[in-house]
Amino acid sequence: MKLISAIICSTAAVGTSLTLPALASATDVQCHSEQGIDMTVIDGHTGCRAASDTLGQARSAGFDGVGYARATFGATALGIGAAGGVGASEGAGGIPVAIGVGPDALALTSITDPGAEDGRTIAVSIAFEGSRAQVSSEEGTVVCLGSAAFAWNAATGRSCLATPFGRWAALR
């Protein structure tokens, strides 16, 4: 009889844990900046910063991670850090995007758009779980390290992808 009670109680406990919503323990912070605002929010290990000049727009968010965005000369920058990752973007014109997801993930995007009248420069870096991704228009590089990273610079056509099966790069 005790064995049957133990099985019924265990089944009820597992069923309840799967059907009832769990309490979220993630800390979320968001920062936005326009017209020269510099905003920083820190909550424990989670943080964000968004800074801009009078023409730029910056948005950043931390979801148990750190997000950073800086926009000048009309740039629209986005930086997101989640689950222990860091996403940092800076742009002097153009649209830089950086997303870091997972413990020790780091994504960096830094671009300069020399001629805003001919179209906007777009660059994206995304890193997961201990990987690194970087786009730098000043150095003309894209870098992908680790097992889950992606970087792309639309202005130069350069891109890279790192997976558990290898690394691929398109360097025009």
Classify burial at 147, counting beta carbons within 10 Å of its beta carbon; exposed 0-12, middle 13-18, buried 19 or more.
middle
> Stretch 98-103: mean pLDDT, rounded?
96
Q: What is the pTM of this model?
A: 0.81
Q: Does the pLDDT of residue 19 top 50, yes or no?
A: no
Which of the four pLDDT bands, split at 50, 70 and 90, describes residue 139?
confident
Which of the four pLDDT bands, split at 50, 70 and 90, describes residue 4?
very low
Q: State how far the Cα of 99 lies from the Cα of 60, in Å rounded to an integer.
A: 10
pLDDT at 171: 72
Q: Give the angle 25-28-32 at the CA atoms, nearest 5°.
A: 180
Q: Give the angle 146-151-155 at the CA atoms, nearest 5°.
A: 160
Which of the four pLDDT bands, split at 50, 70 and 90, describes residue 115?
low
pLDDT at 67: 97
Spans of all domains in the chain: 27-170
16 or 88, which is more confident: 88
81 or 140, which is more confident: 81
- What does the block give as tokens for 58? 């910056």
Which of the four pLDDT bands, split at 50, 70 and 90, describes residue 12?
very low
The dihedral through the CA atoms of 136, 142, 146, 150 has a sign that is positive
